[in-house]
Chains A and B, each alone.
Chain A
Amino acid sequence: MPSDHFAAMRQSIIDGAADSAAALAKEALEQGIAPLEAIDKGYVLGMTEVGAQYAQHQMFLPDMLASAEAMKAAMAILEPELKRRGGARPAAGTVVLGTTKGDIHEIGKTLVGTLLTAHGYKVHDLGVDVPSEQFAAKARELGADVVGVSALLTTTMRGQKSVVEVLDREQLRPKVKIIVGGAPVTRQWAEEIHADGYAHDAISAVGLVQSLIQR
């Protein structure tokens, strides 16, 4: 496999070009490239570069979403082949996401989910208006590493505290970490309700999840 093929994979992610990302993945399989090699030497490096460019204010959220979509398109081709070979991309971790009870805003949480998926995490999105008990039940079922709770309203952010309490009560912590986010949410609030972490935007949520799982 010529190294410029891997470079093209990387570039397809940076460009947010889902069609070429998928086409390159097909081509790689036809040429007998191991799916994991394509992922690690090509696509993942693209995602890393996207993160770097975002940090340097050269890429913005719509660019990053397009990159995540391109990643998804490539993985849709590569993952069945991986499975067929009896392997799987080792998941970086499992994350359960949702917006608190009474809150129907999903944009921030969905963004976090998309970026985590692109970075190799298994994400289960519970959606919006999620009762605290449901976060706990799903975390138990999946053996999740992290539960992410979003709230946009000052009136519904109290629901984040309730999720912390339910996970405590069900003795899922400290194995399961709880992270919180949303427009009115602050680090101070996260500390006050004894959450394990807070991120002020979607990309730093990825870094936060990485650091919590490694810890």
Chain B
Amino acid sequence: MRPRLQILSPELLARIIDEAYELIATVGAKVASPEAREILASASAHVEDGIARFPKALVQRALETVPKDFWLYNRAGEAVVHYGGDDVYFDPGSCCLKILDSETQQPRLAVSEDLVRMIKVTEMLPEYAAQATAMVCNDVPGEMGDWYRLLLILLYSDKPIVTGAFSAQTLAIMLELLAADSGGVDALRRKPRAVFDVCPSPPLNWSPFASYNLVELGRAGVPAEIVSMPLAGATAPVTLAGSIVQHTAECLSGITIHQLAKPGAPIVWGGAPAIFDMRTGNTPMGAIETAMLDAGAAEVGKWFGLPTHGYLVATDGRQIDAQAGMESAASAIVGALAGINMISGAGMLDILACHSIEKLVIDAEAVASAQRLIAGVEARTDVLALSMFAQTGLHGEFLKLKETRALFRKEQHFPSSITDRGGDPSAPDILTRARQRVNDLLQNYQPPQISPEVVQSLRAIAARHAKSVGLDRLPSVVTEDVALKVG
């Protein structure tokens, strides 16, 4: 039996869905892109003064065409991340400006080398099924901030990618890079390697770019991931149930726009909901209520049979300390038990303002534990215990039994050097262990199996667009063959 967290009673779930339908039918949602408005208006939505009201029948039609699941592919073209059902995967959080410096443990602006280090470490950790365009690199012009992160992942990783664009122009560049990586626009559509976050502004506001994004991604056939962010008590109802209604309404309205633009295009029921801290005005991502919002929102998405996403495994503290461990591990477990398909957020601190590679390797242990938890307790032997007692009686020498040797690897997760289980009495503190682990992973990093032609075409696209924003020379992490081990 798969252990599961159910956080909404069937009655409450039904009420949430009813109110969400009514919310977008009566209050509606702001839709800023003229094209999205036109698509809605010609499909029986009532559009007036920039606000679209969505009839239930229209939303239900979209729900009939939206795929119940889809796959993300790695560079080799293997289907490795299944968005759908109760499969659970994790990826690092995104997208901040700062990194907690490995040496000083003080935040500073991130540069290309930081992101490359993070990509390499993520590549080496099986706990992360996908890469994330985790940081904005401050050593290149801001106008290329979004596509440049994607470029680095394409050069340094084989894994699927969770990403997002900052503007209409750069979305086109990102799709161009992905197509070059996949071997063409059709190949990208057939075997997408990336999913793009699309963020409505709470409450129920599809900004010019967000609504454009939905339409364009739908047409490109590249998976979109709605990141609905109700902030309970500030930009959403204070109650968790009320905020989940808003999350539901934002997802339903987004899916409707997306499916009208391109029926059958893949899209994820996702979000980064949070409570609003009534003292600081901050949005604590490590609060238990935030995790409850993620679990509740995913439960609604699952009721519709859709792929889901959430934002957990982050801490609000600013250092790698007990709070970071507590919040990240607790929320990883909630997300896994909720069966959320993609859980973003690992590695992040300071309410998503800062990333840490050391925290990323520590969080990987929390992720592994959460994955072990949902694998559940299984009957691996015909007789559970009696036959083993028949062999050893009350001597208690289970260590010698063949069952022990045959099954302990299945029963137990073996933590990395991050976890201190008392083996080495002189084991250093967690931060030192994390730094050592990062160094080990970097030393053992295997560069991707990327063809010289793909590298060349990625570099050419990058050089052209970098030039248009005034950067004549791309950073060496892009141009040096030695670093990439091309061929």
User: Given A57-B279, A61-B281, A108-B281, are A154 and B95 neighbors across the interface (CB < 8 Å)?
Assistant: yes
In the assembled complex, the CB of A211 is this many whole angstroms from the nearest CB of chain B, namely 20
Interface of B is mostly: loop
Q: How large is the interface on A (under 10, 10 to 19, 20 to 34, 35 or more residues)?
A: 20 to 34
Query: Any chain A CB within 8 A of the CB of B145?
Result: yes
**How many Å lie between the Cα of A54 and that of B281 in the bound state?**
13
**How many Å lie between the Cα of A107 and that of B274 in the bound state?**
15
Query: Any chain B CB within 8 A of the CB of A158?
Result: yes
Question: Is A184 touching B281 in the complex (CB atoms < 8 A)?
Answer: no
**How many Å lie between the Cα of A158 and that of B138 in the bound state?**
11
Of the candidates A57, A62, A107, A183, the one whose C-beta lies within 8 Å of that of B351 is A183
Query: Any chain A CB within 8 A of the CB of B353?
Result: yes
Query: Any chain B CB within 8 A of the CB of A105?
Result: yes
Of the candidates A62, A104, A184, the one whose C-beta lies within 8 Å of that of B96 is A184
Question: Is A202 touching B136 in the complex (CB atoms < 8 A)?
Answer: no
Interface of A is mostly: loop
**How many Å lie between the Cα of A154 and that of B135 in the bound state?**
10
Of the candidates A57, A104, A107, A183, the one whose C-beta lies within 8 Å of that of B205 is A104
Question: Is A155 touching B282 in the complex (CB atoms < 8 A)?
Answer: no
Question: Is A105 touching B201 in the complex (CB atoms < 8 A)?
Answer: yes
Q: Which of B211-243 contact A (CB under 8 A)?
A: 231, 233-235
In the assembled complex, the CB of B178 is this many whole angstroms from the nearest CB of chain A, namely 21
Question: Is A61 touching B279 in the complex (CB atoms < 8 A)?
Answer: yes
Using Cβ atoms and an 8 Å threshold, which residues of chain A touch B201? 104-105
Of the candidates B136, B166, B233, the one whose C-beta lies within 8 Å of that of A62 is B233
Q: Closest residue to A105 on the B side, CB-wise?
A: B201
Q: Which of A164-215 contact B (CB under 8 A)?
A: 183-184, 186, 200-202
In the assembled complex, the CB of A101 is this many whole angstroms from the nearest CB of chain B, namely 13
**How many Å lie between the Cα of A146 and that of B205 in the bound state?**
31
Question: Is B278 touching A61 in the complex (CB atoms < 8 A)?
Answer: yes
Question: Is B279 touching A155 in the complex (CB atoms < 8 A)?
Answer: no
Question: Is A183 touching B278 in the complex (CB atoms < 8 A)?
Answer: no
Using Cβ atoms and an 8 Å threshold, which residues of chain B touch A201? 280-282
User: Given A107-B235, A184-B353, are A155 and B142 neighbors across the interface (CB < 8 Å)?
Assistant: yes
Using Cβ atoms and an 8 Å threshold, which residues of chain B touch A57? 279
**How many Å lie between the Cα of A186 and that of B354 in the bound state?**
12
26 interchain pairs (CB within 8 A)? A57-B279, A60-B278, A60-B279, A61-B279, A61-B281, A105-B201, A107-B231, A107-B234, A107-B235, A107-B281, A154-B95, A154-B96, A154-B97, A154-B136, A155-B142, A155-B145, A183-B282, A183-B351, A183-B353, A184-B96, A184-B353, A186-B107, A186-B353, A200-B280, A201-B281, A202-B281
The interface of chain B, by Cβ under 8 A from chain A, is 95-97, 107, 136, 142, 145, 166, 201, 205, 207, 231, 233-235, 278-283, 351, 353
Assuming A61-B279, A155-B166, A184-B97, what are 6 further A-B pairs, CB within 8 angstroms?
Answer: A62-B278, A104-B201, A104-B205, A108-B281, A155-B145, A183-B351
